[in-house]
Amino acid sequence: MLIALDIGNNHVTIGGFDGDDIRFVAAIAADERQTGEQYACALKNVFALYGAEREHITGAALCSVVPGLTPIMQRALRFLTDGPILTVGAGIKTGLNIKIDQPRTLGADRVVTAVRASRTVPMPCVIVDLGTATTFTVLDQTGALVGSAIAAGVRLGLTSLKEYAAQLPSVGLETMPRSVLGKTTAEAMQVGAVYGAAAMIDGLIDRYAEALGQTPTVLLTGGMAQTVRPYLRTRTIHEPLLALRGLADIWYKNHGSDRKAN
């Protein structure tokens, strides 16, 4: 079994792969104050919960947007497997053609989602990842990564409003107004956050279509994808496990192509 870890700002998402099949997906909190030993215990408990025994783990692949957590998680994984541990970064074979300035500054999470997209959906493609930040990753007709955009995420925008505007309340997004015409301050903030994010996505996709010369496939991923997707006018494909599957693709590319279940 291959273990894939996507280390985000708030959560570490964990996937267990038998070949191309995902046996389980779980999440634990991302916290740089934890030690490698503490994370090893947390991961061991997750693996036990899903019946992933140490002898069945052939290796691990991870990508991270939290540099301080990367060595901690690497140390944790070394307690749990004798197999190779791959960290997406410079020197790792991905097969992705990156045509941007300063490609080494591109986030590892965006590399892994682009790798998966380039293998599985028609090109050109735009990957919209709705997490702490909302990111747009653009692949051209050949599958090359040619551009991107980064904006504040939906929840980050709401948190910033509450922090810097004294009269604005904290609001949740569990229940949304039925109309774009918000009737209360809370509804106005919800409309701005969610309908606003949807409008931004629709508008940028139109502009990317102009830049690319054709309408792109749009992949939607990230923790806020399901919240925003109902308000989009753009046709999208929701792929919540895009990063984990991209990690598996990269691991197999670097450690052999055998994807048979272990």
Exposure of 137 in the CB half-sphere (CA atoms within 13 A): 30
- Active-site residue (options: 109, 129, 140, 249): 109
User: CB-based contacts of 151: which residues, under 8 Å, 6+ apart?
Assistant: 133, 134, 135, 200
Angle at 216 between CA 215 and CA 219, to 5 degrees: 145
Q: Residue 3 has which token pair? A: 């273990």
Residue 218's DSSP bridge partners are 126
Distance, CA of 216 to CA of 122 (rounded, Å): 8
Cis, peptide link before residue 84, omega less than 30° from 0:
no
Instruction: Confirm whether 129 is a catalytic residue.
Output: no
Q: Please report the beta strands in 104-194, taking only residues with DSSP state E, as ranges in sequence order.
A: 125-130, 133-139, 145-152
Residue 84, helix vs strand vs coil: coil
The catalytic residues are 109
